[in-house]
Amino acid sequence: MWRPDGWEVRVRVGVLTPHADVGPESEFRAMAPPDVGVHAARVPFGAMRSGGAMDATIPLAPVRAFAGPPHVDEAAAQLAAAPLAAIGYAFTSSAYVIGADGEAAMLTRLAARADGLPVVATCASTVEALRLLGATRICLVDPPWFDQELNDLGRAYYEAAGFDVRFSAPCALPSGQSLIRPRELHDWVAAHNPEETEAVVVGGNGFRAVGMVERLESTLGRPVLTANQVLLWAVLRAADSHTEAITGYGRLFALDTPAL
C-alpha cells in the first residue's frame, strides 16, 4: 500500500514567520486538516536569536522594522512562487506599532509583491472575526514578552476599531516561548477575564495558545480568539476554502462565511 506523502492536498497556504519562531507553523499544522498544506517563509527579526531566544521583553524598533521592506517583501515574493492559494502574515506586534492604517498599507504592498495572491494579517483578521461574532466588549491578553507599552498599543489598536477593551495586560507567566503551558495560560486568562466581556483575544503568534482554546471557551462561555487560530481561519477564507472541518479549536471555525 502507498503511504500518504503530503502531495494530495485540497489547498496550500503560506505563512510569513520570524526566522527563529516555530510557533505559527506548529499551531497551523496542529489545527489544519490533513488536506491543507502549510508552507512557511522565514523573515529576519532583530529581536530573536538562534534557537528562538529573546530578551524578557521585546523592543519596539525591530518590531516596526519587521513589517517594512525589504526582508518581508522578499519573503512574500519567494513564497508566492509556490503553488499557494493565500498567505498569512504571522506577526501580531507590528500591527500594534504601525496601527491599522499601516497594517493595511503593508498588506497591499505584500500582495503586490506576491503577484496578487491574497495576504492576510492577524490583527485585521481578529477585528473581522470579532465583528462576525458580534462581540464588542473584549479582554486582551498578550504574551509576557510584550511590555506594557506594546500592550497599550494593542489596546489602542482595538479601541480605534471600535471595541470596548475591558481588560488589557501582558500575561504574567514566565517570559519565554518554550516556558508557556496550556493549563497555566488557561488558568491565568480565566482568572483575569471580566465577567462582562463578550470575547477574549490572545495576541502573539509566537504565544503557545491554541491548545487551550476549547477548554477556555467552555470555562468562560464565550469565544476565544488566538493569533494563529484567527490567522489560519482568515487565510483559509482568503483561499476560498471551507473551515468547518476544523474542530476542537474554538467556535470561530464554525463561521464558515465567505471572505469579505
Note whether 108 and 132 are same-domain residues: no
pLDDT tops 70 at residue 258: no
Domain of residue 192, CATH code: 3.40.50.12500
Nearest to 209 by CA among 17, 56, 26: 26
Note whether 134 and 117 are same-domain residues: no
In a domain, 205, yes or no: yes
Whether the CB-CB separation of 4 and 34 falls below 8 Å is answered with yes
Structural domains counted in the chain: 2
In a domain, 76, yes or no: yes
Q: Which domain holds residue 65?
A: 11-124+228-247
Between these two residues, 96 and 53, which has the higher pLDDT value? Answer: 96
Task: Report which DSSP code applies to 83.
Answer: S
Nearest to 148 by CA among 51, 83, 56: 56
Note whether 16 and 116 are same-domain residues: yes
Note whether 29 and 119 are same-domain residues: yes
Whether the CB-CB separation of 142 and 171 falls below 8 Å is answered with yes
Note whether 153 and 200 are same-domain residues: yes
Residue 259 pLDDT level (bands cut at 50, 70, 90): very low
Note whether 140 and 73 are same-domain residues: no
Note whether 110 and 138 are same-domain residues: no
Condensed to tens digits (0 to 9), the pLDDT of residues 33-81 reads 999 999 999 999 999 998 888 888 999 999 999 999 999 999 999 999 9
CA 10 to chain centre: 22
